[in-house]
Amino acid sequence: MRMKIYSMKLFVFCAMSTAALTAPAAAQETTIFDGPFVGVQLGWQQDRRSATTSLVPPTTTRVTGDGLVYGGQLGYDANIGGAVLGVEGSIIGRTGSNGPAALDYETGRTINVTARAGLLVSPESLLYARGGYSNARFSLANPAGNSESRDGYTLGAGYERSLTDTMSARIEYAYSNHGSYSLPGMGGPVVINYRRHGVTAGFNLRF
């Protein structure tokens, strides 16, 4: 009888010890990059525009414009163990313009809808790549003209780290291509091409 009581006490003690030891491990396994999030971003952006004439031989003029980029994003991540898959929508604005005084383009808002995939290099750190649809608005400021929206694509890569259970910070590089179109010009049409590079830092609040 005493042996049975002793065995039961030993079993209860071992069970409680095992639970105490595994509880911290279970807490560490709590997924961080998982669920919906909303955030803000701020950084630098450079628009590159080229104009190629149809003359023989053709000539190409390239101009660049730097500016401050700012905006917000919302999305959803799914943590599937060692990897994270997600979707994100963002809207950003930019200061400055792009072009010489004779043909000055101002950059308006940009809307991006992208998917991203990343690998957890630690429980708190994520390396990722993203890609998807981008729509940018441009306004011809000099000479005065209408605004137009250009469809294109964006590709990027970044690093995100968890600060707390509900907040994370990231830094990201992105390249965007908004296609080309023709403008009438002396001697034939002029083909305008749009490219963009940007580096942003962001903070996300996670739910």
- DSSP state string for the chain: -HHHHHHHHHHHHHHHHHHHHHHHHHHHT--SS-EEEEEEEEEEEEEEEEEE--SSS--EEEEEEEEEEEEEEEEEEEE-SSEEEEEEEEEEEE-SEES-TTSEEEEEEEEEEEEEEEEEEETTEEEEEEEEEEEEEEEEEETT--EEEEEEEEEEEEEEEESSSSEEEEEEEEEEEEEEEEE--TTS-EEEEEEEEEEEEEEEEE-
pTM of the model: 0.76
- Comparing CA positions, the residue from 152, 198, 197 lying closest to residue 41 is 198
Mean pLDDT value across residues 5-32:
45
In a shared domain, residues 11 and 78? no
Contacts with 158 (C-beta within 8 Å, 6 or more apart), sequence order: 127, 128, 130, 170, 171, 172, 173
Name the band, by pLDDT with cuts 50, 70 and 90, for residue 74. very high
In a shared domain, residues 15 and 79? no
Which tens digit of pLDDT belongs to each residue from 173-187? 999 999 877 766 656
In a shared domain, residues 13 and 47? no
Please give the pLDDT value at position 36.
Answer: 97
- Residue with the bigger pLDDT between 53 and 159: it is 159
- Comparing CA positions, the residue from 54, 60, 49, 73 lying closest to residue 178 is 49
What is the chain's mean pLDDT, rounded?
A: 81
Which tens digit of pLDDT belongs to each residue from 103-153? 566 778 999 999 999 999 999 999 999 999 999 987 766 555 667 788 999
- Comparing CA positions, the residue from 169, 142, 144 lying closest to residue 41 is 169
With 80 as the cut, is the pLDDT of residue 55 above it?
Answer: no
Please give the pLDDT value at position 197.
Answer: 95
In a shared domain, residues 14 and 110? no
Structural domains of the chain, count:
2
What gap in Å lies between CA 168 and CA 75, rounded to an integer? Answer: 13
Q: What percent of the chain has pLDDT over 90?
A: 50
Judged by average pLDDT, the poorest of 71-80, 95-104, 146-155, 162-171 is: 95-104
With 70 as the cut, is the pLDDT of residue 19 above it?
Answer: no
In a shared domain, residues 93 and 42? yes
- Residue with the bigger pLDDT between 108 and 168: it is 168
In a shared domain, residues 126 and 76? yes
In a shared domain, residues 13 and 58? no
Please give the pLDDT value at position 181.
Answer: 73
- The sign one gets for the Cα dihedral 77, 197, 93, 148 is negative
Please give the pLDDT value at position 161.
Answer: 97
Please give the pLDDT value at position 104.
Answer: 65
Please give the pLDDT value at position 13.
Answer: 42
In a shared domain, residues 161 and 69? yes
Range of the domain at 2: 1-30
Mean pLDDT value across residues 80-100:
86
